[in-house]
Structure 1
Amino acid sequence: MSTPPPPQVWPTLRARDAHALIRFLVDAFGFEATAVYPDGDLVAHAQLSWPPGGGVMLGSVRPADTDRWALEPGTCGVYVVTDDPDGLFARATAAGAEVLQEPYDTDHGSRDFAVRDPEGNRWSFGTYRGEPR
């Protein structure tokens, strides 16, 4: 059996307060801050790794005329696989995540929940790992 390649798709986010969003994603969800490159009070680039694999990249919002990757903060939606959705839901809500959907069982056999981070991004966590290729 061959080892799967490292992640090749990275959801990206912009944040009004990138330092606070990084702290929230680490504390509430368990991401690991693999790289954070500050630019004064802003974050030029950050990579947050998801321990089972993959991750997200983010940075501070900048004026559209100076940002080559201009995105509106709070407009991202990400699905993340977890083996313990109920435990992660408890952790996320204890850290202040806004609940969009309490844990529930889906018709396709997953256990999911959905929350919003302080910037407004939507996060869905569940046990569904996708269909085999």
Structure 2
Amino acid sequence: MNISIHYAFLPHTDPEAALGFYRDTLGFEVRNDVGFENMRWITVGPVGQPGTSIVLHPPATDPAITDEERRTIVELIAKGAYTAITLATDDLDGLFDRLQAAGADVIQEPIDQDYGVRDCAFRDPAGNLIRINQLT
């Protein structure tokens, strides 16, 4: 039996900014863009990897969540404390340069970690923490 990760979910607070980051800067392809009322769910993923996607979704859409809880969630997202994802590339320095040139919020420049990984970190436009590992 094989198990794979098919979808990961990250909240967005601005769908156009999310598209600019994930599609235009990271180079992911848009696989789906669905709107309902004033909300959008955007599915993106790496070119050539149709089985792995990130669903960018509006935060706290559950009707059981109170307005106060919704505000808390949005505050946590903005601080990068709500969720995170780790990506990997065969050219960490090149991707770092591209993200930095695009104005992405740099959290950590590329560094060799004590635990054997070379990585860097950014926040996406909503504030989600995006770590990027160098593939070896």
Shorter-chain TM-score above 0.5: yes
- Aligned to 2:56, which of 58, 64, 72? 58
Which runs of 5 or more residues in structure 2 are unaligned?
Answer: none
Say whether the 8 Å CA contact 1:78–1:123 is kept in structure 2.
Answer: yes
Deviation of the 1:116 alpha carbon: 0.8
Deviation of the 1:82 alpha carbon: 0.7
Summarize the Cα distance change of 1:55–1:63 in structure 2 as closer, same or farther, 3 Å threshold.
closer
Deviation of the 1:47 alpha carbon: 1.2
Coordinate RMSD, CA, aligned: 2.8
The structure that is helix-richer by fraction is: 2
- Aligned to 2:120, which of 109, 113, 121? 113
Q: Larger deviation: 57-66 or 113-122?
A: 57-66
Aligned to 2:34: 37
- Aligned to 2:44, which of 40, 44, 48? 48
Give the paired residue count. Answer: 123
**Identity fraction in percent:** 30
Corresponding position: 1:96 with 2:103: yes
TM-score, normalization by structure 2: 0.73
Which runs of 5 or more residues in structure 1 are unaligned?
Answer: none
TM-score, normalization by structure 1: 0.75
Q: Deviations over 1:34-53 (max 9, x none)?
A: 1111235531x221112364
